[in-house]
Amino acid sequence: HQPLQPLQPVTPTPVAAEPEVPKKKKIQKPYILIGAGTASFAAAQAIKEKDPLANVIIIGDESVAPYMRPPLSKEIWFSEDPDVATTLRFKDWQGTERSVFYQDDSLYEILDDASGSDVESEKIKLLLNKPVTKLNVEDHTVTLADGSVIFYNKVLLATGGTPKKLPQQPESDQITTFRTIDDLKKLDKVVHSGARIAVIGGGFLGSELAVALANRASKQPDIQITQIFPEDGNMANVFPSYLTKWTTSRVRNLGVDVKTNNVIDGLQVQDGKVHLSLNAGSEELQVDHVVVAVGIEPRVDLARDAGLEIDEQRAGVMVNAELEARKDVYVAGDMVSFHDIQLGRRRIEHHDHAVLSGRHAGLNMVEPARVKPYRHQSMFWSDLGPEVGYEAVGLIDAQLSTISVWAKSTDQDTPASAPQEPHRHQTSSESAVAPPKASPSLADEKFGKGLVFYVRDRKIVGLVLFNVFGKVQEARDIVDAGLTSDKIDGLLNKFDLYSN
Ligand code: FAD
Ligand code: NAD
Ligand code: NAD
């Protein structure tokens, strides 16, 4: 339900009316931002804020301008508008209407080809449908798939990630991964015509999508949703096991047939159906469509070929605390392995980190005399429908030991009733949805509302706020302070856990 976007639309600077404006300004050597996603857009805005005349070019291989991905697995599916996959406008959990696009196309200078890098314009320039095939850090150039070459002043790599496939996955229209607007459109068509759908994967994407699709199934009886994954329950890589079990029971109550502890060992398309074999053939399943949500592979090929250092353990491009990989080469978003001064080396696959790291890289690119370390402790959120949601800061990993505190929740403790936090108007575009449908109150449920502290070497390194909203800054302060776990009792009064 949350924080989408600090990214305020950039208003083009009004053209100066003074007659003495020089006839032809010298075009600056461009800032090239590779990948037209969230991190690049945040960087472009930051550069333009500091230098409105900067020549900023975002190059992307998708056909559309930068957009936010979080609503694609959440609020969009709760919209009452049958054309939502075309309009891409949706209501956030609080009811505010939004677009997935950060800004209207008219606010960009949309270029046809690389020659536009010399065009005079104060807008952010956008080259779409143009894969970048080469980065040459010695010559300061990027090469596009059409062979054209652009010189850069500074470059940002923000190429995100590609969805992983299952080892035995055949090419078929009936098996899809899910990351882009095109993927959304495709799945929306499948759902419209009614289908039995299997979602593979029990992580963020699989769990959010299964719940979102089950919401459609609640209104359209010809849809059935099954979710299959190898772990004990939903979000098992993130939550302690009792919370995973509870979450799984909630997902089941929302109408998903969740099959835990299941390994897929066969996937075949035959006679118009996808045939799944589970656990060495102990169970067979036939569905009309399969959505594979088994994680992403960061897109580091350009960086690797350019000779940049790859963090093989985290599968990201290695940068220093300033987000620089080599001189004049910055990296941000899902694909960066960065040095978190508080928590050590990390790679983070979440929206707020893409915004904050993109923005930070942009500022460091445009203000070389004021280069600063990336100290922002980013947050992330996930919602399983409008009634269960959590926000988190720091290291959230089921392998760490945890200390949890729970209280009974009330109807107010849901993503839909979350207050508009100060960071939300910055971090977020409040995507959103129809009001929650009538449902049993969470008040009597065991894990209605609570805090999970993640501890490493006695220090609090992460915090999940489960159905507790408006407290991200408090969580961030605790992680930043590096407090030990014996301080937890004294911290609880910051969270109003027992109010309402
Ligand atoms: P991206 O947004 O992936 O952008 C990278 C862009 O670069 C892409 O358009 C790609 O096509 C392009 N590109 C790649 N290589 C090239 C090349 N060689 N040439 C040109 N272009 C290239 N996070 C949360 O915190 N909360 C959520 O609720 C949440 N929900 C999500 C829901 C979905 C469905 C998905 C897919 C992700 C979600 N995330 C969420 C994660 C979040 O969206 C990502 O962390 C974020 O998009 C990362 O931004 P990025 O700019 O690094 O990469
Ligand atoms: P993930 O890394 O969160 O989860 C991967 C899941 O894949 C695992 O939980 C496991 O269940 C499953 N898996 C792995 N191998 C499997 C196999 N062989 N068979 C069956 N299941 C298998 O990745 P994701 O859920 O695919 O999400 C994709 C990307 O989108 C990630 O970067 C994620 O962070 C991002 N995303 C984030 C949010 C959020 O922050 N709220 C929401 C949606 C997506
Ligand atoms: P800065 O000058 O480097 O910040 C650059 C920009 O990023 C600012 O416009 C700031 O408002 C924005 N920003 C920074 N952190 C953000 C966050 N977590 N969410 C949304 N936007 C954020 O640094 P600063 O503004 O002096 O920030 C100092 C400290 O305050 C940092 O630790 C930062 O994380 C925190 N902060 C938090 C929030 C928030 O959560 N609501 C907002 C701003 C700053």
Global ipTM: 0.85
Q: Average per-residue pLDDT in the chain?
A: 89
pTM score above 0.90: no
Q: Is 431 in the pocket of ligand 2 (CB under 6 A)?
A: no
Residue nearest atom 23 in ligand 2 by C-alpha distance = 295
Q: Is 4 in the pocket of ligand 3 (CB under 6 A)?
A: no
Tell me the pLDDT band of 448, cut-offs 50, 70 and 90. Answer: confident
How far away, in angstroms, is 11 Cα from ligand 3 center? 22
Tell me the pLDDT band of 4, cut-offs 50, 70 and 90. Answer: low
Please give the residue that has the higher pLDDT: either 429 or 21.
21
Tell me the pLDDT band of 427, cut-offs 50, 70 and 90. Answer: very low
Residue nearest atom 31 in ligand 3 by C-alpha distance = 376
Tell me the pLDDT band of 443, cut-offs 50, 70 and 90. Answer: very low
How far away, in angstroms, is 9 Cα from ligand 3 center? 18
Q: Is 295 in the pocket of ligand 2 (CB under 6 A)?
A: yes
How far away, in angstroms, is 66 Cα from ligand 3 center? 22
Q: Is 164 in the pocket of ligand 3 (CB under 6 A)?
A: no
User: Which numbered ligand comes closest to the C-alpha of 426?
Assistant: 3
Strand order of the β-sheet with 336-340 is: 310-311, 316-318, 336-340, 344-346
How far away, in angstroms, is 115 Cα from ligand 1 center? 27
Across 166-173, average pLDDT: 94
How far away, in angstroms, is 376 Cα from ligand 3 center? 7
Which atom belonging to ligand 2 lies closest to the Cα atom of 73? 43
Which atom belonging to ligand 2 lies closest to the Cα atom of 237? 9
How far away, in angstroms, is 68 Cα from ligand 1 center? 8
For position 19, what pLDDT does the model report?
A: 57
| pLDDT tens digits, 279-294 | 988 999 999 999 999 9
Q: Which of 8, 364, 371, 376 to mutate to test the pocket of ligand 3 (most atoms within 8 A of CB)?
A: 376
For position 383, what pLDDT does the model report?
A: 87
For position 441, what pLDDT does the model report?
A: 37
How far away, in angstroms, is 360 Cα from ligand 3 center? 10
Tell me the pLDDT band of 424, cut-offs 50, 70 and 90. Answer: very low
| pLDDT tens digits, 100-154 | 999 999 999 999 999 988 888 999 999 999 999 999 999 999 999 999 999 999 9
Residue nearest atom 14 in ligand 2 by C-alpha distance = 294
